[in-house]
Structure 1
Amino acid sequence: MTLSRRRFLCGAGSLLGAYAVADALQLAAASTMPMAMPARLSAATLAAPKVPLVNPVSLARFVDPLPVPPIARAAGRRAHPAYPGRTLPYYRMQMRAFHARLHRDLPPTPLWGYEGLSPGPTIEATRGEPLLVEWINALPAQHFLPIDHTIHGAERSKPQVRAVAHVHGARVPAGSDGYPEDWFEPGHSALYHYPNGQDAATLWYHDHAMGITRLNIYAGLFGAFNVHDAEEQALGLPSGDCDLPLILCDRLVAQDGQLYYPVSDDPSAPWVMQCKGNLTLCNGKLFPYFEVEPRRYRLRLINVANSSFFDLSLSHDQPFQQIGSDQGLLSAPVERTRIELYPAERADVVIDFSALAGQSVQLRQQGEGVMEFRVRDRGRRDASALPASLRPVARIDPAGAVRDRVLTLEEVDDAGGNAMGMLLGGKHWSDPVTEDPRQNSIETWSFVNLTGDAHPIHLHLVRFQVIDRRPFDLFAWNAHRTLKYTGPAQAPPPHEAGWKDTVRADPGMVTRIAMRFEGEPGRYVWHCHLLEHEDNEMMRPYQLLPAQA
């Protein structure tokens, strides 16, 4: 069922404390945004927090410097059977528990992170130069967040703590993609190789373990993975210390510093449909500041939140110049006053601080300042550029598709209207594979959203283009499974006209994408990137078959 705004804000006691405030703020902002994600919660989803939570109003603003994740350094070189006669750069990325202060005035928070950091170190790669990463599980044997053992893949027979790393957006062989069932326990590791045979793009890595992805990412297992190439570097965009990731997520934090993850009021099945916090972390800090020079900076904005979208703007009416989306550069910069990012989406932006010497500029989330840029009075000469043209984006002609797959996004409710899980194409994870494209073929996929949520849908391995979104008659679909459109197709806006790997599928709409299935044959996955949905059946395997001879 879909809750009205009044019922949501005045419900019967299950939405309490900071969680209710956070959702109310998001819903209020969503009411002003076209196609924004409405709140959807089942009637008895959330239990009241048993611990007092941090109120964002109580925290001093902009007293901690913004952490900039260090660049990962290779530990040496190693041979790999895919590259006979040569060695490749070899990285070790150890997942381990640690404590960090999210804010000057809060006690240290227990977290998990790669190399004891959250976000983890940034991996810098170059097109055509493969590398190896050994992902090492050095985490404790017990999880510190609540596991729902009724979810497929999280049964009590499995170890509480298990992990597998996925580089989101990377074109990799299936054996190095981080398949959700390829998890490994503490004391074990996996060696993955990344060919980096793709255009320059802002990617990111994170845990992908079956049934507990939402918990492992909430605990801190994520970081940036940047691919560079000569064409991008020739543009003269801001680089070096003027090019940095800004990794955003929201959390609920107890006053004693512990992370709080919401649970249902049924202790036997604690899964909740969404997890949205009232505190926004920027590179692992609450309300940080960052000193900049009066020049151009490139910010790689990454939404790693479990369920929340971000509606970002700058004070002083300062615009963003968006230069890239998920899978690389746009054809030309797009000036925007607001950047909306759904979970897993990225936006590369250039901000010009040259006219703001001596002033402060806030990065705002839904109108509230979450970070401050402090512009120095003077700085180095700015030799960077913002070209009028960036990189051609050749459009895929949908007429060349060998198949159009019509795939539903569905919610499964019990008799009382309580959400029990989510489905793609009406199928569970364990059902036989139904999506089996051929290598190098073009397909279009049409996502028919039958739910009240906007779902960010992610395909592993491939990049794609958004063709259009079109409203349809839900009643006609439910009665006859017939697509009856009720309005014209809506072309993607300029900032969505580049290469993507995650697309927002709006409620009441058919969202259509086109892609060429480049890459090695094997088994991959596609899923909703609302992590609570992904963990509860809104993920499906697909099989990339070899090209026909």
Structure 2
Amino acid sequence: MSLTRRRFLRGLADMAGVAAAADLGLLAWAAPASVDAGMPRMAMPQLAAPKVALVNPVTLARFVDPLPIPPLARATGQREHPAYPGKKLPMYRMEMRAFSARLHRDLPPTPLWGYGGAFPGPTLEAMRNEPILVEWVNSLPERHFLPIDHTIHGAERSKPEVRTVAHVHGARAPAGSDGYPEDWFAPGHSAVYHYPNAQDAATLWYHDHAMGITRLNIYAGLFGAFIVRDAEEQALGLPSGDCDLPLILCDRLIAKDGQLYYPVSDDPAAPWVSECNGNAILCNGKLYPFAEVEPRRYRLRLVNAANTRFFNLSLSSGQPFQQIASDQGLLPAPLPRERIELYPAERADVVVDFSGLDGKTLQLRHQSEAILEFRVRDRGRRDAGALPATLRAVNRIDPSTAVRDRLLTLGEQDDAGGRPMMMMLGGKHWSAPITEDPRQDSVETWSLLNVTGDVHPIHLHLVRFQVIERRPFDLFAWNANKTLKYTGPAQIPPAHEMGWKDTVRADPGMVTRIIMRFEGEPGRYVWHCHLLEHEDNEMMRPFQLLPASAKT
């Protein structure tokens, strides 16, 4: 198999560390002449060597900082909302601010942006069918501290440098509260969003979604957890309270003076790069933290909040995780898994039993690197409970009920305007007329045909979906005359993808087929790749949810 740009950069970061690579002069490189057979051969932007000295995490002391647990957001009052006449809803205020924090004991403070002045921001919690209001307040500086590419659509110089709009990833929110990328607001302004929470218990997360600079705003620290709970899940006796921990993972490049470094191309007029892999992996905003736990079961809510990196997680003890939930809530039954692979924006809730490990330590690993240490106390609360054999029924949607099957390509395209390349959905720009227009409560299947050499985690706003299958196709036939010719049998999803999802891994050379019912309020939403560099550079499209057809 030939070398792709993604494999090159991932191997560079994982094997040597970006800081070491910079010392060797390896960060300014040209795309290899040979890529995967049949994959597009695009003019890739060259990666410029950093002009700052970067931290090499290998040299840092491990497990000297306690794991931060983001505080729970507290309602600041109540307010009426037109959707609930005569009823006052809890009101939360989430202020985005600039601040500095130590990412490791031995590093200088790092300038960051965060909701509530924290990285990650406070955790929002809600019960099913109990609506809340959130005021998202932009109190950030007027100048960005990361490199903006003004040639990207939506990031033109005519717009304010600093713009934000919050999206709760996985929420069934009305269009006006979904965080549409063009609904951004500048410092000194705010927006009140309404979240009905009419959905199953699940680990969601919130993050910035401003057009053209999402990758920069999230890299700066604008994200946090949003947890929906319900009585059905609470009746299962799963670990709760301080034994229910969100673990939000991301990676960063950090300069020796503590500053965040964001990679750029060697073209100063167009600094966009197609991916950002850091060499420092952070858990809840700390590099190599430790967590003291008791000899009992814990629920760990794993969230991939990275720009580009996927995580391959395991425990150093060799014991399996018991996965109980994916993106949109509980699986049908607990699933033992020695490794959990998460692509950007995916989530997995797992239960780890520390019973019998009194006084011992074990690590959470990404690939072979320990990123978080658990220290099991030799005494403490114990629980005699056990995981139930069944969790929540997941009724499969019958594909025969679909009123439409859309074939949608994931591709790359040269731009006649001079940019090296853009990422595309259906071969269309963001600004092209809307082509995906499902009707409310209808069922559709979407076949995602990936003609690139990258894995693309595809996210649909508003709806949850199920993975039907993945199937290899003949890329040469498609490139020649747009003929879809399958080259192998359909591959059914593994057990951990048999629950409800909102983000799906679309593999190169495969058609990934998903099915969903378009529940929710009519309006304008988006679907996109959750590799943030791709999303910012045209790999995002609006869709319009039309009202249900009038009954005759």
Task: Give, as a single letter, the amino acid of the residue that structure 1 aligns with 2:266.
Answer: D
Task: Give, as a single letter, the amino acid of the residue that structure 2 aligns with 1:236.
Answer: G
Tell me which residue corresponds to 1:313: 314
Query: 1:207-254: CA deviations, max 9, x gaps?
Result: 000000000000000000000000000000000000010000000000
**Alignment of 1:527 onto 2:528:** yes
Tell me which residue corresponds to 2:496: 495
**Alignment of 1:448 onto 2:453:** no
Tell me which residue corresponds to 2:439: 438
Tell me which residue corresponds to 1:355: 356
Q: Distance in 2 between matches of 1:208 and 1:510?
A: 27
Q: Distance in 2 between matches of 1:380 and 1:86?
A: 41
Task: Give, as a single letter, the amino acid of the residue that structure 2 aligns with 1:222.
Answer: F
For residues 125-140 of structure 1, the aligned pairs below 5 Å read 125-140=126-141
Give the secondary structure class of the aligned counterpart of 1:86.
strand
Tell me which residue corresponds to 2:343: 342
Tell me which residue corresponds to 2:174: 173
Residue 56 of structure 1 and its aligned partner are, at CA, apart by 1.0
Q: Distance in 2 between matches of 1:305 and 1:488?
A: 33
Cα 1:138–1:41 change in 2 (3 A) is farther
Q: TM-score, normalised by structure 2?
A: 0.93
Cα 1:219–1:42 change in 2 (3 A) is farther
Task: Give, as a single letter, the amino acid of the residue that structure 1 aligns with 2:322.
Answer: Q
Cα 1:391–1:10 change in 2 (3 A) is closer
| Stretches of structure 2 lacking an aligned partner (at least 5 in a row) | 24-35
Query: 1:131-158: CA deviations, max 9, x gaps?
Result: 0000000000000000000000000000
Task: Give, as a single letter, the amino acid of the residue that structure 1 aligns with 2:178.
Answer: D
Question: How many residues end up aligned between the 2 structures?
Answer: 530
Tell me which residue corresponds to 1:28: none
Tell me which residue corresponds to 2:289: 288
Tell me which residue corresponds to 1:379: 380
For residues 156-195 of structure 1, the aligned pairs below 5 Å read 156-195=157-196
Query: 1:432-457: CA deviations, max 9, x gaps?
Result: 00000000000000000000000000
Query: 1:71-106: CA deviations, max 9, x gaps?
Result: 000001111111101100000000000000000000
Cα 1:519–1:19 change in 2 (3 A) is farther
Residue 414 of structure 1 and its aligned partner are, at CA, apart by 6.3
Task: Give, as a single letter, the amino acid of the residue that structure 2 aligns with 1:405.
Answer: R
Q: Distance in 2 between matches of 1:253 and 1:517?
A: 42
Residue 413 of structure 1 and its aligned partner are, at CA, apart by 3.5
Q: Distance in 1 between matches of 2:221 and 2:5?
A: 33
Cα 1:173–1:7 change in 2 (3 A) is closer
| Stretches of structure 1 lacking an aligned partner (at least 5 in a row) | 23-34
Tell me which residue corresponds to 2:397: 396
Q: TM-score, normalised by structure 1?
A: 0.94
Tell me which residue corresponds to 1:464: 465
Cα 1:10–1:96 change in 2 (3 A) is closer
Tell me which residue corresponds to 2:155: 154
Tell me which residue corresponds to 1:214: 215
- Contact 1:45 1:273 survives alignment (8 Å): no
Tell me which residue corresponds to 2:103: 102
Q: Which range moves more in the overlay, 271-280 or 479-488? A: 479-488
Q: Distance in 2 between matches of 1:318 and 1:10?
A: 27
Q: Distance in 1 between matches of 2:453 and 2:496?
A: 25
Task: Give, as a single letter, the amino acid of the residue that structure 1 aligns with 2:159.
Answer: K
- Contact 1:16 1:48 survives alignment (8 Å): no
Query: 1:490-519: CA deviations, max 9, x gaps?
Result: 000000000000000000000000000000
Query: 1:159-200: CA deviations, max 9, x gaps?
Result: 000000000000010000000000000000000010000000
For residues 182-331 of structure 1, the aligned pairs below 5 Å read 182-331=183-332
Residue 385 of structure 1 and its aligned partner are, at CA, apart by 3.4
Q: Distance in 2 between matches of 1:20 and 1:181?
A: 38
Task: Give, as a single letter, the amino acid of the residue that structure 2 aligns with 1:135.
Answer: W
Give the secondary structure class of the aligned counterpart of 2:421.
strand
Superposition RMSD in Å: 2.2
- Contact 1:311 1:339 survives alignment (8 Å): yes
Cα 1:16–1:204 change in 2 (3 A) is closer
Cα 1:7–1:93 change in 2 (3 A) is closer
Q: Distance in 2 between matches of 1:260 and 1:369?
A: 23
Residue 534 of structure 1 and its aligned partner are, at CA, apart by 0.1
Task: Give, as a single letter, the amino acid of the residue that structure 2 aligns with 1:182.
Answer: D
Q: Distance in 1 between matches of 2:436 and 2:20?
A: 37
Q: Which range moves more in the overlay, 234-243 or 377-386? A: 377-386
Q: Distance in 2 between matches of 1:194 and 1:20?
A: 45
Q: Distance in 2 between matches of 1:187 and 1:143?
A: 15
Q: Distance in 1 between matches of 2:8 and 2:365?
A: 28
- Contact 1:247 1:302 survives alignment (8 Å): yes
**Alignment of 1:73 onto 2:67:** no
- Contact 2:6 2:454 survives alignment (8 Å): no
Give the secondary structure class of the aligned counterpart of 2:378.
coil
